[in-house]
Amino acid sequence: MIKFSVNIHRGCFGGCAFCTISAHQGKFIVSRSKESILKEVKAVMELPDFKGYLSDLGGPSANMYKMRGRDEAMCKKCKRPSCIHPKVCPNLNTDHSPLLDIYHAVDSLPGIKKSFIGSGVRYDLLLHQSKDPKTNKSTQEYTRELIVRHVSGRLKVAPEHTSERVLSIMLPVALQQAINMGVNMLDTIMLGQFGEVQISSSSLANQYYNFFTIFCMGIIGGSSVLAAQYWGAREVEKVRQTFNMALRMALTLASVFAVLTWCFPAQIMSIYTSEAHVVEQGVRYLRITTFVFIIHGTSLVAAQLMRSVGQAQLGLIVSCVSFVVNLIANYAFIFGKFGAPRMEIAGAALGTLLARTSEFLATFGYILFKDKELGLRIKHLLHMPGEEFFSNYLRLGLPVLVSDGLLGLGGNIVSIILGHMGAAVVAANAICQVIDRLFTVVIQGISNASSIVTGHTLGEGSREKAMQQGYTFYVLSIFFGLIAAVMVLACGPLTIAMYTLNDETILMTEEMMGAYAVIVFFQCIQSVMTKGVLRGGGDTKFLMKADILFMWLVSIPLGGVGGLLLGWPAWLTILALRVDY
């Protein structure tokens, strides 16, 4: 591409935080003369393998040629890193006429069949409305010329994000996930000071609790599709009914789990492992966890649904509160600090209970008494939604609930298989899962954002726009999947060093960390495209069939036979168990 391209200017006044062009080329645009550009184009035309197609007429950005401040004295005093963000500077001359003149001059040369623009186009300059009608006309002409005559099949744009709405949802969600993963990592590290047994016990007990949260996410998945689409159509009352239905389902589900946990903790732990000392420690954890189900289930559903109406910040704020409470409580009760009793694994469970209680109070305090946009109040929760609404909810929500429920059961089968391979395997997997989740937090944010944005777009009736957004989210999932895989490999050894483990468990954890680097890449793509885009588009029945069939017909049988019957090593077993990604 570079061989048949011509650079027409240097410098960039975009000022993007992730880019260093302005640092080494300067903020002010230095443009080549028309004669110099044409001279180089003619030189390129003389190359023996030139076929008449210029791959690029551009620079650091495609459409900044000859642009500068109208009063350059003002520019020399200005301290802004960007001339166009958050708004285009009124002193900036955004006239595209000189650039159009270059395009026309190059295209008129004999032997030039097509001149493409391969550099990134600053679309914000194309959308900007100047006070000068002549400048606005030149921008319109440039946009048309660019699209009709200079695009080779894919138009490149800069900056790399194109939607403030996606970032406003994605970033708080990603930060919230990072905080939650930080809490989990602190729990595991603290209990890791007491050896493999307590790590294994808490990990297996949490797998049972995660089974409950997956059902909650199924409730959220179905209801968020409806809530996002109703919010996009500005049907606020139906959004409230969606909240009402989801909270009722979460309360019912949590009550069932709480009763089972209180009555049968030893039997529950015995499903996951046959090692008596692991079961004993797990029962200590589950007894306290009994009181967490109702307060966490309802607050989790409520906070997640608030994202569907564009209020992703609530979950972030609540998670920050929970993080502080959990950190202090865990330290106090696990190790017996600040005059508290030393409870070890039971202290971790108590810390979780106190943290979830703070989440509950903060979440419902805001939603029911302070929020004005949705306006959900206690009186709205006292009325049963209508039969027509209930049928519509089941049409979209039931496949999601069934799908996530069976996926959650499948995840528990995975834990059961690993649990019966020994405490060392469970401990190694728990450590790997912490680092895996820590580096997939951004993708969880993108997944949530893609579902909500897709739902809003379809609710507005823009099907074609939703398709284009889906392609964008697919590319993002690949990019962040690669980053996550590299980070798992890079940070795995540092993470393992934080734990008190024997040599066998350390070696096993190192091997499993390599397997998780492969898993996390495909997990990122799957999460965005299935849990995000397709689910946000309402295609829940297909996802239910695809998720269930592959997990239950391929990954679980393969991992179970390999790990329990054929004696595969832990890293190969986990790859087999996660092959459904």
pLDDT at 452: 67
Looking at 155-159, 321-325, 403-407, 523-527, which range is the least confident one?
A: 155-159
Q: Is-contact 363 317, C-beta < 8 A?
A: no
Q: Is-contact 524 443, C-beta < 8 A?
A: yes
The dihedral formed by the CA atoms of 438, 442, 447 and 453, expressed in degrees to the nearest 10: 150
Q: What is the largest CA-CA distance in the chain?
A: 87
Buried b / exposed e along 27-52 (16+ C-beta atoms within 10 A) = bbbebbeeeebbeebeebeeeeeeee
Query: Angle 299-305-311 (CA atoms, 0-180°, nearest 5)?
Result: 105
pLDDT at 82: 87
Measured CA to CA, the distance from residue 270 to residue 546 in angstroms comes to 31
Measured CA to CA, the distance from residue 459 to residue 233 in angstroms comes to 5
Query: Angle 421-423-428 (CA atoms, 0-180°, nearest 5)?
Result: 90
**pLDDT 10s digits, 52-107:** 999 889 888 889 999 999 998 898 888 888 888 878 899 999 999 999 999 999 99
Measured CA to CA, the distance from residue 419 to residue 573 in angstroms comes to 12
Concatenate the DSSP letters of all residues of 494-548 into one string.
HHHTTS---HHHHHHHHHHHHHHHHHHHHHHHHIIIIIIIIHHTT-HHHHHHHHH
Flag whether pLDDT at 377 surpasses 90: no
pLDDT at 18: 65
pLDDT at 6: 93
Measured CA to CA, the distance from residue 128 to residue 144 in angstroms comes to 15
Measured CA to CA, the distance from residue 535 to residue 370 in angstroms comes to 30
pLDDT at 343: 94
Flag whether pLDDT at 169 surpasses 80: no
pLDDT at 555: 86
Burial class of residue 87, CB neighbours in 10 A (0-12, 13-18, 19+):
exposed
Buried b / exposed e along 428-445 (16+ C-beta atoms within 10 A) = bbbbbbbbbbbbbbbbbb
Alpha carbon distances (Å) from 484 to 169, 480, 517: 20, 6, 8
The confidence band for 274, taking pLDDT boundaries of 50, 70 and 90, is: confident
pLDDT at 338: 92
Amino acid at 122: R
**pLDDT 10s digits, 109-142:** 999 998 989 888 888 888 888 888 999 999 999 9
The confidence band for 499, taking pLDDT boundaries of 50, 70 and 90, is: confident
Q: How much of the chain, in percent, has pLDDT values that exceed 70?
A: 85
Mean of the per-residue pLDDT values of the chain = 83
SS3 212: helix
Mean of pLDDT values over 198-217: 85
Flag whether pLDDT at 1 surpasses 70: no
The confidence band for 538, taking pLDDT boundaries of 50, 70 and 90, is: low
pLDDT at 31: 92
Alpha carbon distances (Å) from 401 to 215, 256, 543: 7, 16, 11
Measured CA to CA, the distance from residue 139 to residue 135 in angstroms comes to 6
pLDDT at 105: 95
pLDDT at 342: 94
> CB neighbours of 26 closer than 8 A, spacing ≥ 6?
10, 11
Most confident of the following: 399-413, 472-486, 555-569: 555-569
The confidence band for 178, taking pLDDT boundaries of 50, 70 and 90, is: low
pLDDT at 541: 62
Measured CA to CA, the distance from residue 415 to residue 574 in angstroms comes to 10
HSE-up (13 A, CA, CB side) for residue 34: 10
Flag whether pLDDT at 210 surpasses 90: no
Tokens of 169: 């949802």
Flag whether pLDDT at 168 surpasses 80: no
Alpha carbon distances (Å) from 126 to 333, 471, 474: 59, 22, 26
Flag whether pLDDT at 146 surpasses 60: yes
Which residue do the tokens 């968020």 mark? 224
**pLDDT 10s digits, 408-453:** 787 788 888 988 888 888 888 888 877 777 776 667 667 766 776 7
HSE-up (13 A, CA, CB side) for residue 487: 17
pLDDT at 442: 65
Tokens of 392: 């519509």
Most confident of the following: 157-171, 461-475, 529-543: 461-475
| Cβ atoms within 10 Å of 71's Cβ, excluding its own | 11
Flag whether pLDDT at 376 surpasses 70: yes
Flag whether pLDDT at 465 surpasses 80: no
Paired strand residues for 92:
69
pLDDT at 543: 64
Q: How far apart are the first and last CA of the chain?
A: 35
Mean of pLDDT values over 28-37: 93
Measured CA to CA, the distance from residue 94 to residue 132 in angstroms comes to 10
Measured CA to CA, the distance from residue 210 to residue 314 in angstroms comes to 22
Q: The pTM is what?
A: 0.61
pLDDT at 554: 85
Q: How much of the chain, in percent, has pLDDT values that exceed 90?
A: 27
Paired strand residues for 53:
114
Identify the residue with better confidence: 387 or 287. Answer: 287
The confidence band for 341, taking pLDDT boundaries of 50, 70 and 90, is: very high
Flag whether pLDDT at 37 surpasses 90: yes
Q: Is-contact 221 301, C-beta < 8 A?
A: no
Flag whether pLDDT at 162 surpasses 70: no
Flag whether pLDDT at 533 surpasses 80: no
Flag whether pLDDT at 286 surpasses 90: yes
